[in-house]
Amino acid sequence: MRATGEKTQLAQSHPYLLRPNRTILTLSLPILLSLIAEPVTALVDTAFVARLGAIPLAALGVGAGALSSVLWIFNFLGIATQTEVAQTFGRDDDEGARKAVSLAFAIGAALSLLLTGLMMASASAVARVLGAEGAVLAMATAYIRARLLGAPAVMLVFVGFGALRGKQDMKTPLWIALGINFANGLLDYLFIFGWGALPALGVAGAGLASSLAQWLGALWMLRAVGRRVGLSRHISLRDGFRLLRVGRDLFIRSASLTFFVLFATRVATQMGAEAGAAHQVIRQVWFFTALISESLATTAQSLVGYFFGAGRREYAKRVAISTTIFSLGAGFVMLGGTLAATPIVRSALVPSDALIAFQAAWIIAALSQPLSALAFVTDGIHWGTSDYRFLRNAMLTATAGGLLGLQIVASDEAGALAGVWLMTVLWIAIRAIFGFARLYPGIGASPFRSGVASAGALPKPAP
């Protein structure tokens, strides 16, 4: 680790301080493209399997839904790794970064092996809980087991992406994500339909293709992390337990978020098929537009973490302000874009009998875009300071308020879907208010206040 004076000089010469807007855009655009690449994999699988018929496609839906939900929760390893590497990067502590990444890889490998063993044994039961039976159950079970072969690779990619983005290398994860998509598409064709001596494996072939593509991506990513950050054999078991405690906060937060989204979908579906269909359309468009906010949040996390590690809170707060302004601007652009796209979405995606339920709810969802952008970017800012416990509590508070509101608006009346989206806006608003207030004026033990350290911060790796 370099002397404090040299470290401060490095922080003061960071590109953000010279060209803040350009730096934010340069970092955010590759993240956005890599985030868009992820759902493309699912679309490719769907396109190929759809050629096999309705039963295989239904099985794919069950299997992919089960695996995606479970694996996504373990993304806490990527979030924690990104913050830790960003902060060690700011401290110019290369050895600390190597130890933190190596520790995260070790924990990810252990958790993935445990998850694989448990889900291999319970794959059929999981598919049955999600409503699969008969031929759909058999195919979904085969798909889940084939996809589980790639679970360790997925965990490694989570950690690797976090490590590279913490080092502010946003382009390498993009190329790896594109490579995984290309390999998945090629292998899909070979394994689903067969080729030469290779038999057609159907839905299970789609799972096997995804697993192999993930392993190819993981190997590429390991090489990139080894060159860009480095790895170490010297990891501390004590630090491993502390990382798991951080993971507990992020796990609870992710589970709370997922529960609210699923419960809102359940309430909308119980209002009738028309409301359920309209809600699905609005939700998918909302999730897609959220990728822009998520890319800015990831950029904020890396930059804030870097300046916190360098001990320059004033620069970190400057990043927080500028990324917040950027995100709000993007939110208003998305508001205008979604409103302008209303006729296209209505005619292309919404069934005619769902139009009445769709209209008011769509307007509410569109108007929430700036608020949603604020919630996302403040999440990224506070991830950068390791303020995980605060984010957990804010999400739990928002989810409690949102769930109470959903219980109140639950109804089978024609306009009730608008109430679901009003409560979703309430849920978003609570998160945004807490996130912004933690930044300014700095409620509670805000890391942005001088002399306060985040309770959720990871320790420096043991020597």
CA–CA separation, 206 and 188 (whole Å): 5
Q: Which of 38-52, 84-98, 99-113, 207-221 has the highest mean pLDDT?
A: 207-221
Q: Which of 40-44, 406-410, 422-426, 445-449 has the highest mean pLDDT?
A: 422-426
CA–CA separation, 175 and 170 (whole Å): 9
What's the pLDDT tens digit per position in 389-437? 999 999 999 999 999 998 888 666 656 889 999 999 999 999 999 999 9
Q: Which of 22-31, 69-78, 249-258 has the highest mean pLDDT?
A: 22-31
Whether the pLDDT of residue 269 is over 70: the answer is yes
Whether the pLDDT of residue 455 is over 60: the answer is no
DSSP 8-state symbol, 444: S
Q: How far is CA 410 from CA 39, 261, 275, 312, 419, in A?
A: 31, 15, 12, 48, 8
- The reported pLDDT for the residue numbered 237 is 65
Cβ neighbours of residue 363 closer than 8 Å, sequence gap 6 or more: 339
Whether the pLDDT of residue 98 is over 80: the answer is yes
Whether the pLDDT of residue 241 is over 90: the answer is no
User: Backbone phi, then psi, for 150, in 5-degree steps?
Assistant: -100, 0
Q: Which amino acid is at 407?
A: Q
What's the pLDDT tens digit per position in 313-372? 899 999 999 999 999 999 999 999 999 999 988 887 787 878 888 889 999 999 999 999
CA–CA separation, 338 and 148 (whole Å): 37
The least confident of 3-7, 92-96, 102-106, 340-344 is 3-7
Q: How far is CA 328 from CA 22, 270, 304, 373, 376, in A?
A: 17, 34, 18, 6, 10
Question: Region 29-55: what's the mean pLDDT?
Answer: 84
User: Backbone phi, then psi, for 242, in 5-degree steps?
Assistant: -70, -35
- The reported pLDDT for the residue numbered 450 is 65
- Determine the 3-state secondary structure of 413 from DSSP: coil
- The reported pLDDT for the residue numbered 373 is 95
- Determine the 3-state secondary structure of 131 from DSSP: coil
Task: Say what percent of the chain tops pLDDT 70.
Answer: 91
Query: Using an 8 Å Cβ cutoff, are 175 and 239 in contact?
Result: no
Whether the pLDDT of residue 118 is over 50: the answer is yes
Question: Region 228-256: what's the mean pLDDT?
Answer: 79
Q: Which residue has the higher pLDDT, 43 or 158?
A: 158
Question: Region 188-206: what's the mean pLDDT?
Answer: 88
What's the pLDDT tens digit per position in 160-175? 999 999 999 999 999 9
CA–CA separation, 271 and 284 (whole Å): 19
CA–CA separation, 108 and 153 (whole Å): 9
Q: Which residue has the higher pLDDT, 241 or 380?
A: 380
CA–CA separation, 333 and 28 (whole Å): 16
State the DSSP string of 209-241: HHHHHHHHHHHHHHHHHHHHT---S---HHHHH
Query: Using an 8 Å Cβ cutoff, are 88 and 230 in contact?
Result: no
- The reported pLDDT for the residue numbered 452 is 55
The least confident of 257-266, 286-295, 420-429 is 257-266
Q: Which residue has the higher pLDDT, 64 or 226?
A: 226
- The reported pLDDT for the residue numbered 462 is 40
Whether the pLDDT of residue 454 is over 60: the answer is no
Q: Which of 12-16, 90-94, 279-283, 397-401 has the highest mean pLDDT?
A: 397-401
- Determine the 3-state secondary structure of 357 from DSSP: helix
Question: Region 443-454: what's the mean pLDDT?
Answer: 73
What's the pLDDT tens digit per position in 371-388? 999 999 999 999 999 999
Query: Using an 8 Å Cβ cutoff, are 191 and 184 in contact?
Result: no
- Average per-residue pLDDT for the chain: 86
Q: How far is CA 1 from CA 96, 231, 426, in A?
A: 9, 16, 46
- The reported pLDDT for the residue numbered 4 is 52
Helix-helix angle 134-148:94-129, to 10 degrees: 170
- Which sign, positive or negative, has the C-alpha torsion 22, 27, 33, 36? negative
